[in-house]
Structure formats: C-alpha cells, structure tokens
C-alpha cells in the first residue's frame, strides 16, 4: 500500500504533532482522516489512533481502524470514547460546523482535548482581499465553472476540495464555548510571508481599537481578533481546547 499523502498543508500536521508531542498518551480520533498522513504522525507518537472520514476508500494507513462518517451527521462512535479529537481541514468543508462541535463534545471524555483547525480568514491580508474582491483566498466563489473543475479532479468526492463554510475565529470560539469547551491556546500553521508589509495597517487597526472601552473590547473579543495569531498569523488557525 502506498504511503498516505497529506491533503492539508504539511505545516498544519507539523503543528498538531508539536502540540501533542508531550501530551499524555491516550485514545485519539482523527476526523476527517483523508489518506491517513496525520494519523501516521500521531500513531508514531504512540497515541491509540482511530480514524473516520466521509470517503474511507482513500485511506492508506495500515493497522489503523478507519470508519465511514459524516461530520454533518452523527459519527459512528459511542459517547465519551476518546481522550483526544483532532479535526484538521474539516469544518470549512461541511454545511453544519455546529453539529461537528456537538459531536466532538459527545465523543470526548471529561477533560478531553479537542484540536481543530480552520482557514484564517481574519488575518490582515485576507481582510484586504475581501475588501477589494469580495472574497478571501480560501473561500472563492463556487461558480459553475469552479465546481466543474473540482468535479473533474475529484469525481464523486468533491467535498474533499470544496470550501463551503467561511468559518473564522469568532464563530469557532462561540461554538466551542457554547458546547462546553475552554480554549487553552491558539496556534498558527506557519508565519505568512511578507507580513512586515502589513504592519503599518495592523498598527492603525490596533490603535483605533484602543479608542473603544475595555468592556466593549472584551465583549467583542477585539483584542483577540487583533492578536498576532489572528491579525498577523498564518493561513490556518489551530485551536487547542479542553472539554470542561
């Protein structure tokens, strides 16, 4: 069997691996699992890895269970089955991220850890792209022409490539907190190139935000949205959260 290839950027897998490198070992669900590239990294760290994907037929990692499952539906596992759930390159591909987060709550044991990634649509470069074009790099219009190209490449498995839900920091945080998670730390995949060019604009944004009262900034997560991770961060935001 061929070695599994990463369907996400390798930097995302490397970041997840570094987050869990010194964590207590336990049972871990990787969903969506793709070909199994991230699962292999985590299995090599001695986690007890189980996988799940909408298209299990593309899975290439031997010796690891991989079930068919849909993040828009109930996943095929019992309540409190896992110590860890990892969801990389998942939420932006589905219609109902709220359902997925609820499922992660159901599947995790008390004090279990969730690691979830989304494209960073709130960094300064993406904000400017949206201002001038009406869309961001990760969420371009799904025109008939674009869908036809994806269909030809992925024939019958278009969900692998389609980004249908532009979910950002605020939406993910809301869903996590609503479903009993506490964010422990926010990570990025890797620094963006040429970030220095946007520092003057970022400075203006931060200065203007300081004109708002502290209570309003707190209630609107202003400081978090203007943090280095979000405002100046990489292509991907990676949340580490605990079920409380």
Domain CATH code at residue 47: 3.40.50.150
**In a domain? residue 4:** no
Number of domains in the chain: 1
Tell me the pTM.
Answer: 0.95
Q: What is the mean pLDDT of the segment spanning 2-8?
A: 85
Prior bond of 20 cis (ω within 30°): no
* pLDDT tens string 173-230: 999 999 999 999 999 999 988 889 999 999 999 999 999 999 999 999 999 999 999 9
Q: Report the share of the chain in percent with pLDDT over 70.
A: 100
* Residue 1 binned pLDDT confidence (cut-offs 50, 70, 90): low
- Asked whether residue 2 is assigned to any structural domain, the reply reads no
Render pLDDT for 83-115 as a digit per residue (tens, 0 to 9): 999 999 999 999 999 999 999 999 999 999 999
243: left (phi over 0), alpha (psi -120 to 50) or beta: beta
Going by C-beta distance under 8 Å and a sequence separation of 6 or more, which residues neighbour residue 242?
111, 112, 113, 114, 181, 182, 184
Asked whether 173 and 221 are in contact (CB, 8 A), the reply is yes
171 is a domain residue: yes
Which three-class secondary structure state does DSSP give residue 175? Answer: helix
Q: What 3-state DSSP class applies to 42?
A: helix
Any domain includes 115: yes
């Amino acid at each position: 069997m061929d070695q599994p290839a990463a369907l996400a950027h390798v930097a995302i897998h490397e970041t997840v691996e570094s987050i869990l490198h010194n964590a207590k070992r336990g049972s871990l669900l990787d969903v969506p699992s793709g070909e199994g590239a991230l699962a292999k990294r985590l299995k090599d760290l001695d986690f007890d890895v189980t996988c799940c994907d909408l298209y299990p037929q593309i899975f290439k990692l031997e010796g690891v269970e991989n079930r068919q499952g849909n993040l828009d539906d109930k996943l095929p596992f019992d309540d409190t089955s896992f110590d860890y759930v990892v969801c990389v390159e998942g939420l932006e591909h589905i219609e109902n991220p709220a359902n997925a987060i609820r499922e992660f709550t159901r599947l995790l044991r008390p004090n279990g850890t969730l690691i979830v990634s989304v494209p960073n649509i709130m960094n300064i470069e993406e904000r400017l792209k949206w201002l001038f074009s009406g869309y961001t790099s990760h969420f371009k219009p799904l025109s008939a022409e674009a869908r036809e190209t994806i269909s030809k490449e992925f024939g019958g498995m278009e969900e692998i490539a389609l980004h249908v839900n532009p979910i950002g920091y605020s939406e993910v945080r809301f869903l996590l907190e609503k479903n009993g998670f506490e964010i422990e730390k926010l990570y990025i995949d890797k620094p963006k190139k040429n970030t220095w060019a946007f520092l003057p604009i970022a400075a203006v944004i931060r200065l203007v935000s300081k004109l708002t009262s502290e209570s309003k900034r707190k209630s609107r997560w202003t400081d978090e949205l203007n943090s280095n991770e979000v405002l100046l961060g990489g292509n991907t935001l990676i949340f580490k959260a605990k079920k409380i």
